[in-house]
């Protein structure tokens, strides 16, 4: 029989498990280097990264979940400007490996887009979050700094990149700036609460600088646990708390 001393911790474990149960897809953009299958990387730290590149543009490549199981998802890249190396100290950190190569982002005259379609799995029925990782390229032009915009069609965020500052230096830095004038030097943005079976992330160098100053290094698609599951566990937590209060009285 579960005692009052173990009931709440047990419910906490169940709640944490429900939060973590959402499936995710890890995508390493950029050719030549990829995160090892047993290595953990990303803001939502997990293994099972898959490389999707080979060329700046590719079409309808299949996606796997992080556990290696097939998903219905397909990914397409359009108008990339090449496969670039990002700046940063050589390290065995798999996060840097993910940042190390990227798909170059076009200037203001064209958008570099990543489109994911066919997210019809039940895992995504509760919605999902998308993390997009941005890398500063290794002296790809004479320009040192540029502002990059990233949009999912609803929200637009801005990131400042500098060709003399490594994008990943041991930590993740999120940009939530919604105007180019307030863009910080950062290495990822997050689009929250997406729904539907497809989305497109459009990126561009809003300063219209020549050369690929920055690139798209990776992406995580993280399924959100179904609200019904969270509501059920939340109700259990409240009921158990009331039960303990009554017992103590």
Give the domain ranges of the chain.
1-21+226-249, 23-224
Residues with Cβ within 8 Å of 138's Cβ and at least 6 positions away in sequence, in order, are: 84, 85, 86, 87, 163
> In this model, does residue 247 exceed pLDDT 70?
no
In angstroms, what CA-CA distances link 87 with 13, 163, 213, 217, 245?
40, 7, 11, 12, 57
Q: What does the pLDDT read at residue 32?
A: 73
User: How much is the CA Rg of the chain, to the nearest whole Å?
Assistant: 20
**Residues 30-84: tens digit of each pLDDT:** 887 778 878 999 999 999 999 987 667 899 999 999 999 999 999 999 988 888 8
DSSP 60-104: EEEEE-TTS-EEEEEEEEES---EEEBP------HHHHHHHEEEE
Token pair, residue 130, equals 């998308």
Identify the CA nearest to 101 among candidates 140, 75, 130, 71.
140
Identify the CA nearest to 201 among candidates 235, 239, 155, 135.
155
Q: Does residue 170 or residue 208 have the better pLDDT?
A: 170
Token pair, residue 72, equals 């219905």
Q: Is the Cβ–Cβ distance between 49 and 34 less than 8 Å? A: yes
Task: State mean pLDDT over 198-211.
Answer: 86
Return mean pLDDT, the chain.
Answer: 83
Q: Does residue 21 or residue 197 have the better pLDDT?
A: 197
Single pTM value for the model: 0.82
47: three-class secondary structure by DSSP: coil
> In this model, does residue 2 exceed pLDDT 50?
no
**CA atoms within a 13 Å half-sphere pointing along the CA-CB vector of 80:** 28
Q: Is the Cβ–Cβ distance between 232 and 31 less than 8 Å? A: no
Q: Which helix (H) or strand (E) holds 205?
A: strand 199-205
């Amino acid at each position: 029989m579960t005692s009052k001393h173990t009931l709440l911790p047990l419910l906490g474990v169940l709640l944490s498990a429900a939060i973590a149960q959402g499936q995710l897809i890890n995508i390493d953009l950029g050719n030549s280097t990829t995160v090892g299958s047993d290595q953990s990387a990303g803001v939502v730290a997990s293994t099972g990264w898959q490389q999707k590149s080979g060329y700046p543009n590719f079409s309808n490549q299949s996606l796997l979940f992080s556990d290696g199981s097939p998903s219905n998802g397909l990914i397409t890249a359009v108008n990339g400007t090449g496969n670039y190396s990002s700046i940063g100290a050589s390290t065995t950190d798999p996060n840097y490996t993910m940042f190390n190569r990227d798909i170059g982002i076009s200037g203001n005259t064209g958008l570099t887009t990543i489109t994911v379609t066919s997210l019809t799995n039940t895992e995504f029925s509760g919605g999902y979050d998308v993390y997009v990782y941005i890398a500063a390229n290794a002296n790809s032009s004479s320009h040192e700094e540029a502002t990059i915009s990233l949009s999912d069609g609803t929200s637009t965020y801005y990131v400042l990149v500098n060709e003399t500052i490594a994008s990943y230096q041991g930590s993740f830095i999120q940009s939530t700036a919604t105007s180019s004038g307030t863009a910080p030097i950062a290495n990822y943005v997050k689009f929250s609460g997406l729904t539907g079976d497809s989305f497109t992330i459009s990126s561009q160098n809003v300063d219209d600088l020549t050369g690929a100053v920055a690139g798209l290094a990776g992406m995580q698609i993280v399924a959100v646990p179904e609200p019904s599951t969270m509501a059920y566990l939340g109700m259990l937590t409240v009921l158990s708390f009331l039960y303990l209060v009554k017992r103590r009285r």
